[in-house]
Amino acid sequence: MTRIEVVDAATFARLIPTAAHIYGAAMARPPEMVVQRREIMQTHIMRRGFTAVTATGDELVGFGYGYHGRQGEWWHDVVADALGRVAARRWLRNAFELAELHVRPDEQGAGIGRRLLDTLLGAAAGRTVVLSTHDRDSPARRLYRSTGFADLLDDFVFPGSSEVYAVMGLER
């Protein structure tokens, strides 16, 4: 049975190498992007309100985390600019930014992602929750919609990327 639990930043820090590989497998990323994501994860654990969840059986099979974003942080600023002043104030003022939620491909389809998301939403503080995901019909997008997330932006391309994303939000 897969165990889902909330972990602190120090515990998650020890899991980052494995979590980065899960990210790479789930997102079909090349090794150099896995290294880059590992470095990004190491900076995220220092952010205000960092909250993480893990899914483990004999080993780590999935994880999710986020934090309270703020002005001056790349994702927050790019999304705030794209939303416009009024919508940014509504969605980002007291938001938990769900940064990562991934399950190892051979474990997908068993409800682990939903359990991770439900546990993370239960543990995280914030009036809203915001995230970005690929702008296409996918299990991830269906999961977010099924838990009440709505599209805030679609057909959105982050600076430096060619991938098309949707930014989604949930009011609590």
Q: Return the pLDDT at 127.
A: 97
Q: Return the pLDDT at 69.
A: 95
DSSP β-bridge partners for residue 56: 3, 60
- Claim: this prediction has a pTM higher than 0.75: yes
Q: Return the pLDDT at 92.
A: 98
3-class state of residue 45 by DSSP: coil
Per-residue pLDDT of the chain (172 residues; tens, 9 = 90+): 899 999 999 999 999 999 999 999 999 999 999 999 999 999 999 999 999 999 999 999 999 999 999 999 999 999 999 999 999 999 999 999 999 999 999 999 999 999 999 999 999 999 999 999 999 999 999 999 999 999 999 999 999 999 999 999 999 9
Q: Is-contact 66 120, C-beta < 8 A?
A: yes
Give 3-171's CATH code, choosing from 3.40.630.30, 3.30.450.20, 3.40.50.2300, 3.40.50.720: 3.40.630.30
Q: Return the pLDDT at 43.
A: 97
Length of the chain (residues): 172
Of the candidates 113, 108, 140, 106, the one whose C-alpha atom is nearest the C-alpha of residue 53 is: 113
Q: Return the pLDDT at 12.
A: 98
What distance in Å separates the CA atoms of residue 160 and residue 172, rounded to the nearest whole number? 32
Q: Break the chain into its structural domains and give their ranges.
A: 3-171
Q: Return the pLDDT at 126.
A: 96
Q: Return the pLDDT at 13.
A: 98
Q: Return the pLDDT at 116.
A: 98
